[in-house]
Amino acid sequence: MTPTETALIETIDTPDGPLVIVADTDQRVLAAGWTTDASAVIARIHPSLRPDAVREAHLDAAEAARAYYGGALDALDDVPVRQHGTELQLRGWSALRRITPGGSLTYSEFAATFGSPTAVRAAASVCARNAPALFVPCHRVLRSDGSLGGFAWGLPVKASLLARERGDALPVTQSS
């Protein structure tokens, strides 16, 4: 995507608050986040992919997210995403997509999955720079003590996603 292209955007209601999804014109997810501020989601897109404008559209990814929230936890597996990053970041984002719903890894275990077992800080950075949250499930990476660690869209959303995927009773969360 060149910066002059227009991206597509759709916001859906979820139990975790509004989910903003931004995709390119080929419906590949560029970014997603739980907020009412679409500009915050757009700002997470790598500058080389960030659009100058967005227009409202119906997104296939939004249907997949609705299905996920409806209980079809594998509905996100085949949603195409588009990310720009270093070789390590691309390997890491690919590895995130292989963590199954209900599963989790520590940052150390995650680093090992993309071939850099001692790169724990790099693993955390891969998660932090992950723009298409939910579709590239960085919420499934935890601290070594099992605590949540960080999440760009707030720890209540991360906790809710993990609980949903484990089949636990879900807390009611709202993010803005």
Can you tell me the distance from the alpha carbon of 94 to that of 58, in angstroms, rounded to the nearest whole number? Answer: 26
Can you tell me the distance from the alpha carbon of 49 to that of 107, in angstroms, rounded to the nearest whole number? Answer: 27
DSSP secondary structure code for residue 138 in this structure: G
Is residue 127 part of the annotated active site? The answer reads no
Q: Which of 138, 141, 161, 162 is catalytic?
A: 138
Residue with tokens 């995650």: 110
Nearest to 108 by CA among 131, 127, 135: 127
Can you tell me the distance from the alpha carbon of 25 to that of 79, in angstroms, rounded to the nearest whole number? Answer: 14
Q: Which residues are catalytic?
A: 138
